């Protein structure tokens, strides 16, 4: 309908096409009054096949005019113009910088589970805002094309009214179906939409980001999308995603707020999920807990004359390394480079094995968890190592077996699994009962799943 350079209302100069659907077309333009780029969505009366499309377009303009959220491009103007043989309707918004999630994936972007979680949190924050309005605003067309992502990770939700590429009308009972196949909740096929309807579209969008496949291409099991065999997710996130994709609306989260709370681990913290968890008798672990904090101190193994032990440790390292160093200097003068390299490799291997053994023998550990953050500190003979992070990034707390030899006595350690790929081990010097007790205490406090290896 327009070419670059066209001037609309003596104010908006067309720059280029942003998107074109069956009914409406969106352009990038410059607002000459304020020297800023805007997005203009245009509906042509001449191209209409159904008056319902105009009703949806006008509704979109009215809805946008009342919205005020940083994740929704700001509404600027609505007007109509009569030209020869046609009447055109215009919605003007701030332009959302970035690319759609669909274009990001097409360009080769492969988001991690943590990146997908962050997108989910931002979109849920937008949906919480929309659904708490009176009356609630249900987007009805959550899909990758309607979510714009900046390079810094911030996302925007666009295309309210669902009139572009997604409008369908059924003759039966005159009901209207709005949505995109594969991202539509089952109730949308009956012309119904409630706030949880948007959660289904969100779940389908996240599934697309994780698998790069259209949700409609997945097989179904008992009328549900069967995605678990085709993707490797942490159990906690897989369960949460499966809830979003429940085909029966009553089985989904009742609201975006509830879905966001569970994703952040807040809803599970409301009530413990296990009976009283008592500390094993004789345990030297010190655990202090209140409503907003839990701290755990795991002492090193009982070793007599610790200063003497430290001296022995450093002497052993010196005793092992010094002959190698002396002989390497002698051989260096003779030009035996390969022999020197081999000796260095053997020396480093011996030192690593020795350090690992002594670390396990002398290490003490301190863990601290608040409502939002965690910190783990290891201390071995004056050498400290510390990590910290967000509790929401912890996938689960577990006890797992560290030796796979079935003929050897089993050994276990505790671990925090963070981000699906990082494991922070602690408590290897504790008994199995102490490890199970600690994992249960931590999991209940931070509201994360626990896994105990038997």
Euclidean distance between CA atoms 10 and 262, whole angstroms: 50
DSSP for 253-308? -SSHHHHHHHHTT-GGGGS-SSS--PPPTT---EEEE-SSEEEEEEPPP--SSHHH
Q: Which are the contacts of 356, defined by CB distance < 8 A and separation ≥ 6?
A: none
Q: Which are the contacts of 366, defined by CB distance < 8 A and separation ≥ 6?
A: 295, 296, 297, 298, 376, 377, 379
3-state secondary structure of 231: coil
167 CA to centre of own chain: 31
3-state secondary structure of 229: helix
Q: CB count, 10 Å around CB of 148?
A: 22
Annotated catalytic residue, options 103, 125, 141, 226 = 141
3-state secondary structure of 50: coil
Longest Cα–Cα distance in the chain: 98
Euclidean distance between CA atoms 293 and 445, whole angstroms: 8
3-state secondary structure of 48: coil
Euclidean distance between CA atoms 383 and 363, whole angstroms: 9
**CA neighbor of 176 nearest in space, from 52, 354, 325:** 52
141 as an active site residue: the answer is: yes
Cα–Cα distances in Å, from 331 out to 274, 345, 369? 64, 16, 53
Q: Which are the contacts of 190, defined by CB distance < 8 A and separation ≥ 6?
A: 175
b/e map 34-44, b = 16+ CB within 10 Å: eeeebbbbbbe
Euclidean distance between CA atoms 451 and 429, whole angstroms: 19
Phi-psi region of 452 (alpha: psi -120 to 50; beta: other; left: phi over 0): beta
**CA neighbor of 418 nearest in space, from 385, 453, 446:** 446
131 neighbors 198 (Cβ within 8 angstroms): yes
3-state secondary structure of 49: coil
Q: Which sequence positions are flagged as catalytic?
A: 141
């Amino acid at each position: 309908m327009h070419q670059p350079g066209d001037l609309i209302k003596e104010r908006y100069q067309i720059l280029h096409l942003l998107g074109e659907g069956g009914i409406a077309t969106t352009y990038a333009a410059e607002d000459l009054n304020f020297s800023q780029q805007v997005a203009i969505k245009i509906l042509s009366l001449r191209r209409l096949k159904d008056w319902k499309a105009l009703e949806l377009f006008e509704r979109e303009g009215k809805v946008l005019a009342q919205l005020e959220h940083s994740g929704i491009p700001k509404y600027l103007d609505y007007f109509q113009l009569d030209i020869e043989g046609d009447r055109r309707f215009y919605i003007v918004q701030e332009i959302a910088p970035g690319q759609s999630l669909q274009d990001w994936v097409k360009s080769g972007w492969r988001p991690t589970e943590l990146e997908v979680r962050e997108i989910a949190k931002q979109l849920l924050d937008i949906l919480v805002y929309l659904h708490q309005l009176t009356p609630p605003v249900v987007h009805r067309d959550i899909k990758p094309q309607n979510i714009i992502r900046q390079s810094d990770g911030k996302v925007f939700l666009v295309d309210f009214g669902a009139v572009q590429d997604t409008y369908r009308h059924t003759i039966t009972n005159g009901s209207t179906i709005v949505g995109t196949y594969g991202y539509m909740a089952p109730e949308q096929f009956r012309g119904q939409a409630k706030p949880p309807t948007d959660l289904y579209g969100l779940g389908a969008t996240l599934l697309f980001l994780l698998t790069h496949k259209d949700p409609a291409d997945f097989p179904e099991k008992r009328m549900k999308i069967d995605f678990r065999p085709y993707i490797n997710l942490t159990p906690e996130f897989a369960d949460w995603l499966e809830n979003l994709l429940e085909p029966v609306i009553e089985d989904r989260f009742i609201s975006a707020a509830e879905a966001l709370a569970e994703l952040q681990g807040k809803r599970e913290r409301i009530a413990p999920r296990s009976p009283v968890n008592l500390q094993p008798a004789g345990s030297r672990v010190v655990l202090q807990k209140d409503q907003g904090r839990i701290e755990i101190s795991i002492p090193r193994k009982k070793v007599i004359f610790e200063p003497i032990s430290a001296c022995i440790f450093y002497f052993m390292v010196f005793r092992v390394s010094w002959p190698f160093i002396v002989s390497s200097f002698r051989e260096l003068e003779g030009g035996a480079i390969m022999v020197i390299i081999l000796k260095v490799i053997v020396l480093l291997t011996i030192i690593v094995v020795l350090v690992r053994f002594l670390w396990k023998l002398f290490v003490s550990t301190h863990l601290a968890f608040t409502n939002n953050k965690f910190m783990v500190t290891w201390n071995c003979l004056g050498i400290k190592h510390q990590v910290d992070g967000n509790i929401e990034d912890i996938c689960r707390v577990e006890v797992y077996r560290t030796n796979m030899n079935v003929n050897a006595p089993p050994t276990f350690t505790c671990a925090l699994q963070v981000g699906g790929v990082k494991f922070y081990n602690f408590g290897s010097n504790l008994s199995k009962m102490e490890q199970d007790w600690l994992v249960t205490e931590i999991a209940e406090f931070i509201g994360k799943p626990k896994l105990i290896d038997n």
